[in-house]
Amino acid sequence: MNKVTRFTTPGGEEMVVLARAEYEALVEMAEMLEDVAAYDEAKRRIAEGDDLKVPSEFVDRLIDGESPIRVWRDFRGMTSKDLAKAIGISAAYLSEIETGKKEGSISVFRSIAKALRVDLDDLFWGEDNKRPVSE
């Protein structure tokens, strides 16, 4: 290791000078520690049920452009009738929303998100999906 030079500024602040390679190694170690802390936090949230483990089959379906409502409904093990009943709409109306034939109101989307235990944003995937426009 190279020698570290220590000094105190006229204002009383303690400073050190070290080789660039040592500085870069410290920065890399700090970044690794941040990554480890983020990983540990994610594991804690999953263990406490605050975060989801979503199997790749569901993620792939979202990426492939399938209706996010249908994907999350399937992930939660709900039929369209179950979800429609839970939010107080007809299964036919829910089907029209899932297939894009109807837009649905923001209040219906909020109810869907609550019933599926997801954020409202999770019901919209990609630029092609229409957003609810009316309350």
Q: What residues does each domain of the chain span? A: 20-51, 56-123
Give the separation between CA 126 and CA 47, rounded to whole angstroms.
Answer: 30
56-123 is classed CATH 1.10.260.40: yes
* pLDDT value at 132 more than 70: no
What's the CA gap between 61 and 67, in Å, rounded?
Answer: 8
4, pLDDT greater than 90: no
Q: Across residues 79-96, what is the average pLDDT?
A: 95
Nearest-angstrom CA–CA distance, 1 and 21: 10
The per-residue pLDDT for 133 is 44
| Cβ count within 10 A of residue 135 | 8
Which one, of 124, 103, 127, lies nearest residue 113 by Cα?
A: 124
Task: Identify the weakest region by mean pLDDT among 18-22, 37-41, 51-55.
Answer: 51-55
Q: Which residue has the tokens 């480890």?
A: 36
Confidence of residue 126 (pLDDT cuts 50, 70, 90): low
Q: Quick check: helix, strand or coil at residue 7?
A: strand
Q: Which of 36, 78, 59 is nearest to 122 (CA)?
A: 59
Region 77-97: what's the mean pLDDT?
A: 95
Higher pLDDT, 2 or 68: 68
pLDDT of residue 131: 47
> How confident is the model over 118-124, as a mean pLDDT?
88
